Amino acid sequence: MIPAAEVRTVAVVGAGSIGASWTALLLGHGLHVVAADPAAGAEERLRRTVADRARDLGRTVDQDALRLAGSAGEAAALADLVIECGPERLATKRALFAEMDAAAGPGVLLTSSSSGLVPSSFQDACRHPERVLVAHPFNPPHLVPLVEVVGGRLTSDEAVAAAMAFLRRIGRQPIHLRRELPGHVANRLQAALWREAYHLVAEGAVSVADLDTAISAGPGLRWALLGPVATQHLSGGEGGLGHVLAHLGPPMVEWWADLGSPELTPELVARLVAGVHEELDGTPAEELTARRDRALLELRDIKARHGLDDVGTAGE
């Protein structure tokens, strides 16, 4: 694999929201980007979105370092590393990776931003599957540092190491998943919480607004700083996690048995949608997103100042 320090040009295949966010991040770190997207007007939209994302980062990016290629293969042929952000459809992924693999030079890492597909499901479409893996970011990638790195059945250890090193180079906090799982890890954790949240709303136990407050004004504040297991450890005092599990573990197991398995019926969907509209009370999504993103940047700065931005990296 091309060493992370020697990567100069990155291909971004798919210039939608995720691809544009990646592009702004890469340009902000002084890299060249070759983007590919078949949609009409893709270049104009990408350049406009990149400028907006750069303002989020408080940086000026060199738009001359960004060019549009005519195809995924052309972009891959010009790159030292590829980030694919195409549609979440397996047939499309397989076609894209076959095209990129045929065009990319030797040692070029091919990564996918797929939020749920596992790399083994599309890497066998390539002649060099050992360089194919998932590097799943969290939206928006230019602000949220988490990236889940997932190797497939045919992915080499060298490719995983190269991906981890490159992601650290551009300021991300990658985690390495030791096995493939549909939805990876972070989305599965979210899904577990949403499952119980929707159940509680369906049962009439809580409103959507109060449920969001239960997380955002409670455990969500602590989880943003340390994560759920480290937070639980601190709640045990001198005995730490062992003390917590010895004393509160049995009741927690009883709660597990009482967790719901809701059906996503039209009625429940309507209740959830109505509830979030009532909660937001007409606040435009664009305004709320902008406020959230400004707060994300401030929160990252706060974590860095207090030495909490690298907690959890020792387990790599």
Report the CATH number that the domain containing residue 276 is assigned in CATH: 1.10.1040.10
If asked whether residues 26 and 62 sit together in one domain, one would say yes
Is there a domain that residue 264 lies in? yes
Residue 314 has a pLDDT of: 59
The answer, yes or no, to whether residue 144 has pLDDT greater than 70, is: yes
Residue 229 has a pLDDT of: 96
d(CA 27, CA 10): 10
Confidence of residue 309 (pLDDT cuts 50, 70, 90): confident
**How confident is the prediction for the chain on average, in pLDDT?**
95
The answer, yes or no, to whether residue 100 has pLDDT greater than 60, is: yes
- The CATH number for 139's domain is 3.40.50.720
Predicted TM-score of the model (pTM)? 0.93
If asked whether residues 145 and 199 sit together in one domain, one would say no
Is there a domain that residue 164 lies in? yes
d(CA 152, CA 110): 12
Q: For residue 268, what are the domain limits?
A: 187-282
Using alpha carbons, select from 29, 28, 33, 31 the residue that is nearest to residue 43: 33
Is there a domain that residue 292 lies in? no
If asked whether residues 208 and 165 sit together in one domain, one would say no
If asked whether residues 161 and 197 sit together in one domain, one would say no
Per-residue pLDDT tens digits for 46-72: 999 999 999 888 888 999 999 999 999
Is there a domain that residue 267 lies in? yes
Residue 59 has a pLDDT of: 83
Q: What value does the mean pLDDT take over residues 90-113?
A: 97
If asked whether residues 39 and 106 sit together in one domain, one would say yes
Residue 56 has a pLDDT of: 86
Chain centroid offset of residue 197 CA: 22
The answer, yes or no, to whether residue 14 has pLDDT greater than 80, is: yes
Q: Angle between the 266-280 and 186-202 helix axes, to the nearest 10 degrees?
A: 100
The answer, yes or no, to whether residue 287 has pLDDT greater than 70, is: yes
The answer, yes or no, to whether residue 300 has pLDDT greater than 80, is: yes
Residue 77 has a pLDDT of: 98
Instruction: With beta carbons less than 8 A apart as the criterion, state whether 84 and 100 touch.
Output: yes
The answer, yes or no, to whether residue 312 has pLDDT greater than 80, is: no
Q: What value does the mean pLDDT take over residues 214-238?
A: 95
**Residue 149, token pair as written in the block:** 């790195």
Structurally, how many domains does the chain consist of?
2
Residue 311 has a pLDDT of: 76
Using alpha carbons, select from 78, 72, 178, 174 the residue that is nearest to residue 126: 72
If asked whether residues 198 and 149 sit together in one domain, one would say no
The answer, yes or no, to whether residue 315 has pLDDT greater than 80, is: no
If asked whether residues 61 and 27 sit together in one domain, one would say yes
Residue 316 has a pLDDT of: 56
Q: What value does the mean pLDDT take over residues 237-262?
A: 95
Is there a domain that residue 87 lies in? yes
